[in-house]
């Protein structure tokens, strides 16, 4: 039961169960929408986690009763202010998850694993001019 979230929307007809993989997928999508995030990064894993989905390799979901905490691992574009991008990732991930699942998110920890350097367009233009 630790790998799923049960929402309080259960009725006499049944209940809603959301897996950690779905939570991780939503969190990845929300993080990638933030300007400055270049890609998701792989989080440190142990042997049991090697077969996880791509989303679960970038987001760790921790469930503790009604508390849901996430650790999100990202790569950022160079030249961006890291604290600002991280704050936006936290806000976006929390808002998307709470909107889509109805489950309160207690904490979103953002781990910046790497920096991506954008290629300049100048190199491509020089090659075009030589033809």
Mean pLDDT across the chain, nearest whole number?
A: 81
Cβ atoms of residues 34 and 85 within 8 Å: yes
Are the C-beta atoms of residues 74 and 89 closer than 8 Å to each other? Answer: yes
Topology given in CATH for the domain delimited by 15-129: Alpha-Beta Plaits (3.30.70)
Confidence at 126, pLDDT banded by 50, 70, 90: very low
How many CB atoms sit inside 10 A of residue 92's CB? Answer: 19
Per-residue model confidence as pLDDT tens digits over 19-50: 888 999 999 999 999 999 999 998 876 655 55
Segments making up each domain of the chain, as ranges = 15-129
Q: 70 near 96, Cβ under 8 Å?
A: no
Of 64, 74, 65, 58, which is closest to residue 23 (Cα–Cα)?
58
Is 107:93 a contact under the CB 8 Å cutoff?
A: no
pLDDT of residue 53: 56
| pLDDT tens-digit series, residues 78-105 | 999 999 999 999 999 999 999 998 889 9
| Confidence band of 6 (pLDDT split at 50, 70, 90) | low
Please report the pLDDT score of residue 129 as a whole number.
Answer: 46
pTM: 0.76
């Amino acid at each position: 039961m630790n790998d799923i979230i049960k929402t309080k929307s259960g009725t006499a007809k049944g209940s809603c169960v959301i897996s950690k993989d779905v939570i991780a997928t939503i969190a990845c999508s929300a993080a990638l929408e933030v300007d400055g995030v270049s890609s998701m990064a792989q989080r440190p894993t142990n042997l049991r986690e090697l077969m996880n989905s791509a989303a679960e390799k970038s987001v760790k979901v921790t469930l503790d009763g009604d508390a849901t905490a996430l650790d999100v691992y990202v790569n950022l574009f160079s030249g961006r202010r890291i604290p600002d991008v991280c704050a936006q990732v936290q806000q976006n991930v929390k808002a998307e998850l709470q909107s889509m699942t109805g489950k309160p998110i207690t904490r979103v920890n953002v781990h910046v694993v790497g920096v991506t350097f954008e290629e300049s367009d100048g190199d491509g233009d020089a090659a075009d001019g030589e033809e």
